[in-house]
Homo-oligomer: A and B are copies of this chain.
Amino acid sequence: MPPTPVEHSPLHQIAIMPHTHRLTPGMPVHLAEHSTRGADHHPSRPDAEKEFRKLRHELIVWQQKLYAEGRQKLLIIFQAMDAGGKDGTTRKVFRGVNPQGVRVTSFKAPTHDELAHDYLWRVHRNVPAAGMIGVFNRSHYEDVLVVRVDELVPEEVWQQRYEQINHFEQLLTATGTRILKFYLHISKQEQKEQFQERLNVPEKHWKFSKADLEKRRQWDDYMTAYQDALQRCTTPWAPWYVIPSDSKWYRNLAVMRIIIHTLREMNPSYPPGEAGIMDITIED
């Protein structure tokens, strides 16, 4: 097969505004004031899709360099209400990236063994290794979201967790991991439409659970829990981004832009070869 054109894409061509959607440490968070609609942030879906495809090519190149360099780590966390697009964003953004360098971890309800440890234990086991991109589909934030809303532990327990999480993420950052945290923000109406789609299309039935309706009834409680998590865990080293996610085309672009901006900053490069590599003759 001929070399993919990807290899020759010039990088850094597309300017990115990295602060859009990023929360500021110490500032209050009111999710109702954050738009969920793509059209509020971008004038043209075709242009957005074109830019997304270009940036995806850039991502493929950066991932190769990150892996080759084998030193830095990138951790990407997706949180959202049901049908918010965690799966879809992962699929669209990382499509085409070498799966050898990307590890997706989907955190479900904890197992018996996981519950026998502290809540960060299973998370720590799954953080990315050097050279890797780790993607968390749900995360330790569930331990201040569903755990809080469903009162699975007393308040004095989950109240301590925000600071514990900040310390944990500070440790990861200090030891070479860049952390990006995306809250995929959809409206309650958009969730209804997505649920209806899952009910209407037989191939999507498996994605729907009646338990999802119970969580929908708790929408306001979840918004309160999300607001607290976003506010109290937006740190200088690991800020949250609130991504308008009713329009998939904009959601994908907004996430991709932030990932690309971050990789440009990390700027991984191909490492030098071993000493003396130029003097080698390969025998038959």
Hey, which bits of chain A sit against chain B, CB under 8 A?
1, 49, 52, 68-70, 87, 90-92, 94-100, 102-104, 106, 135, 137, 188-189, 192, 195-196, 199, 202-203, 205-210, 213, 216-217, 248-249, 252, 270-274, 276-278, 280, 282-284
Contacts and interface: CB of A to CB of B under 8 A. Distances in A.
A220 B219 CA distance: 66
Nearest to A188: B284
A94 B99 CA distance: 7
A280 B100 contact: no
A91 B95 contact: no
A49 B92 CA distance: 24
B92 A95 contact: no
A202 B206 CA distance: 48
Contacts of A206: 68-70, 270-273
Number of copies: 2
Contacts of A49: 1
Nearest to A91: B98
B99 A208 contact: no
A100 B96 contact: no
B192 A282 contact: yes
26 contacts: A1-B92, A1-B248, A1-B252, A68-B206, A91-B98, A91-B99, A91-B100, A95-B98, A96-B96, A99-B99, A99-B102, A99-B104, A100-B106, A100-B135, A103-B104, A199-B278, A205-B270, A205-B273, A206-B270, A208-B273, A209-B274, A210-B280, A213-B282, A213-B283, A216-B283, A217-B283
